[in-house]
Amino acid sequence: MRASVVAAVFASAIVAGSFDDALGQTRTTIGCMRPSTLKGMFPSAGTAGFARRSHIKGQAARAPIYPGRCSAFWATYSVRPGKTVDVSVTLYKSAKNLSAPLAEALIGPVHRLSNGARVRTSKGSGSVNGAPSKNTIVESAYRKIFITGTSISTAGTPVPISAQLRLHRLIENAFTRAQATH
């Protein structure tokens, strides 16, 4: 790869707030908190009312990459096998940067919660590998973090929106505490 192309890719990543190195690790740039701080915002499974939480993993940027993106992590919470919700938390440089990701998905109107979080939810049905499925989706924009929760079930019901909202609120509270100490 030519040096000018590498420089252009690196420069565009810095404008977005972070870059992913060859190992998929997100590196912090100016204006973003340390990624490890964001990773610590995922509550334990028991605290969130779930039986299990998977290992928290870094989430590489994927299209569309919105301006101000710093870093992201995700984990899977399960009530029991087959009833899970994938949760991701993405940090942005400013609250203004959250409008674009919140507007992207066509999953319902935006509601403002008492803590100021803007939330969109959806219940639907579809198919997974040809099998009928049901799903619930919750997206929250709170201060400088964007939280998504997606539960898809081919057997039974997905994790309810109310359980996902409770999980989002715990993450929002952890973010508030982290902001107070930095």
Query: pTM for the full model?
Result: 0.82
- Confidence bin at 130 (pLDDT 50/70/90): very high
Whether 43 and 170 have beta carbons less than 8 Å apart is answered as yes
- Confidence bin at 4 (pLDDT 50/70/90): very low
Taking Cα atoms as reference points, which of 120, 155, 149, 152 lies closest to residue 135?
A: 152
List the domain range (segments joined by +) for residue 52. Answer: 3-181
Which whole-number Å values give the CA distances from 112 to 32, 98, 142, 165, in the listed order?
25, 14, 10, 13
Whether 133 and 156 have beta carbons less than 8 Å apart is answered as no
Work out how many domains the chain is built from and give that number. Answer: 1
CATH number at residue 84: 3.40.1000
CA 60 to mean position of chain CA atoms: 12
Whether 123 and 108 have beta carbons less than 8 Å apart is answered as no
Tens of pLDDT, residues 154-167: 988 999 999 999 99
Residue 3 has pLDDT above 80, yes or no: no
Tens of pLDDT, residues 59-113: 998 888 899 999 999 999 999 888 999 999 999 999 999 999 999 877 889 999 9
The per-residue pLDDT for 8 is 33
- Confidence bin at 43 (pLDDT 50/70/90): very high
